[in-house]
Amino acid sequence: MATPRPAVHLNEKSTLRCDRHRRGDGYGPVVGPGDHTNYRTSDQTSNRTGNRIGVIGAGQLGQMMLAAAIPLDLELHFLSEDAADPAAVLSPHHHLGSALSASAVRDLAAHTDVITCEHELVDLEILSEIGGGSEGGPGSVFPTAATLSQVVDKVAMRAAVDAAGVPAPPWKVATNLLDLEAAVNEWPDLVVKAARGGYDGRGLAFIRGGRIEPDQAVWMENLSAGTGSVTGGGLAILEPLLDLSAELAVLVVRGVDGQIVVYDPVRTVQVEGQCRAVLTPHGLGAAVDITAREIAVRVAEHIEVVGVLAVEMFVSEGHVLVNELAARPHNSGHHSIDACVTSQFENHLRAVAGLRLGSTAPTGKAAVMVNLIALTAEIDPRDQRDAGLAVDPRVRLHLYGKAPRPQRKVGHVTVVADDGEEALHLAWQAVRALGCDDREREVHNQMDEGRSG
């Protein structure tokens, strides 16, 4: 069992600071609410990696990267196995092949100056072989394989979070059903997370009241054997279910030269393990805000990320705890396209290309992003576009070009307004007009009551 880091209790003047800040080597204070200056700035211009960026993956994140690349005149090449992927159908530079194929990744590298990723299903050995190190220049891979190794595997991620000295829930590693049964004796209510491959509610199992259901036992045995639908190298992590008052996410962007910018922390609301809504401001107070920023920056510096790092967090019993990391543009930052001076996608590209990072300042008082989740294969929000746009001129619609099927994420809507409640109401109106899954009541209930998770 890993030794849990002590929780940081919230106070108005949090003392959690990065080591370099304490050493006084030129790092400014972590930005607080309303301050969108760079955490660390740089005048260096010698880290340009080139204009041709290879992206492993071609999903909706790639689609939104492509839109951000056009004004910067950056040439994006995408690697994926399906020519019908959202970014593949829009880009003239699509490479057909697997992210796990050494020859396909090498071919992508041969046509580009730097490689980045839009998903975690990558071969770290291939990326380490291709990447020329962490100093930038043509032939780079950002984030580096060393950084990704601390993020794509949840066991390694938990160890990295502990090593960074930031608070996180207690956890254990499980290699088989016997490990799970032993953990249930200590934590009757717990969550099992596959070490690799889980997202949007996949690769999770919730144990309550100490009872392991038969299908959960089979899932764990398959996971251990590497024969399940989500493989984790035979490993899973176990965590006790916590009494949550809220969930947060903070996006940090770090450049090749160490320049850092931080987006305002956002509140995220999950339904059945899937993110449904993102809200800013989060309404949880300045102490939460400052602590969350400081934690995110410390982790970003510890793992030496280049590009976007999303740090998902729990707020539980007055403490902010790290839940998960993603070293790529993230669902919790989609609002930044319409609600911030520089979107997460543009800043990610700026970072990996060795360009100066952009301002993360909000463009309005409040913003809400709600994911569009299809109800059936027959109800296509693309057929209801005009109805969605008619809800209010402030509704910004983003469709991913994906055919609908039950519970598939096919797009999102963002509303920027003077009032957060109004923005949330308008966003859900648009969801209903587009014929997508309406979970407004569940989202409001979770925001009002908190939950165990």
Q: How confident is the model at residue 26 (pLDDT cuts 50, 70, 90)?
A: very low
User: Are 95 and 115 in a shared domain?
Assistant: yes
Query: Mean pLDDT for the chain?
Result: 87
The answer to whether position 203 is within a domain reads: yes
In the listed set 118, 148, 178, which residue is the last one of a domain according to the structure? 148
CA angle 171–304–256, rounded 5-degree value = 155
The answer to whether position 4 is within a domain reads: no
Query: How does 28-44 read in b/e, with b if 16+ C-beta sit within 10 Å?
Result: eebbeeeebebbbbeee
Number of domains making up the chain: 3
User: Are 261 and 312 in a shared domain?
Assistant: yes
**Structure confidence by residue, pLDDT tens digits, 133-155:** 555 555 789 999 999 999 999 99
Q: How confident is the model at residue 40 (pLDDT cuts 50, 70, 90)?
A: low
User: Are 144 and 283 in a shared domain?
Assistant: no
Neighbours of 24 (CB within 10 A): 7
The answer to whether position 336 is within a domain reads: yes
User: Are 188 and 312 in a shared domain?
Assistant: no
Please enumerate in sequence order all residues whose Cβ is within 8 A of that of 106, keeping only pairs 6 or more positions apart, or say none: 126, 130
Q: What is the CATH number of the domain that holds 226?
A: 3.30.1490.20
**Structure confidence by residue, pLDDT tens digits, 311-353:** 999 999 989 999 999 999 999 999 999 999 999 999 999 999 9
3-state SS assignment for residue 107? helix
The answer to whether position 265 is within a domain reads: yes
Inter-residue contact 228 to 272 (CB < 8 Å): no
What was the pLDDT predicted at 227?
A: 54
What is the rounded distance in angstroms from the CA atom of residue 131 to the CA atom of residue 13? 41
The answer to whether position 388 is within a domain reads: yes
User: Are 269 and 178 in a shared domain?
Assistant: no
Q: How confident is the model at residue 96 (pLDDT cuts 50, 70, 90)?
A: very high
Asked if residue 25 has pLDDT above 50, the reply is no
What was the pLDDT predicted at 139?
A: 73
The answer to whether position 26 is within a domain reads: no
Q: Which domain holds residue 202?
A: 170-240
177-186 vs 214-225: helix crossing angle, rounded to 10? 130
The answer to whether position 348 is within a domain reads: yes
User: Are 346 and 205 in a shared domain?
Assistant: no
Cis amide bond preceding 143, omega within 30? yes
pTM of the complete model beyond 0.85? yes
User: Are 60 and 110 in a shared domain?
Assistant: yes
User: Are 174 and 132 in a shared domain?
Assistant: no
In the listed set 222, 240, 258, which residue is the last one of a domain according to the structure? 240
User: Are 232 and 259 in a shared domain?
Assistant: no
User: Are 105 and 254 in a shared domain?
Assistant: no
What was the pLDDT predicted at 55?
A: 98
Q: What is the CATH number of the domain that holds 102?
A: 3.40.50.20
Higher-confidence residue: 27 or 183? 183
Asked if residue 108 has pLDDT above 50, the reply is yes
Burial (CB count <10 Å: 0-12, 13-18, 19+), residue 445: middle
User: Are 59 and 135 in a shared domain?
Assistant: yes
Query: How does 108-117 read in b/e, with b if 16+ C-beta sit within 10 Å?
Result: bbeebbbbbb
Q: What is the CATH number of the domain that holds 295?
A: 3.30.470.20
In the listed set 211, 240, 269, which residue is the last one of a domain according to the structure? 240
User: Are 355 and 256 in a shared domain?
Assistant: yes
The answer to whether position 7 is within a domain reads: no
8 DSSP 8-state letter: -
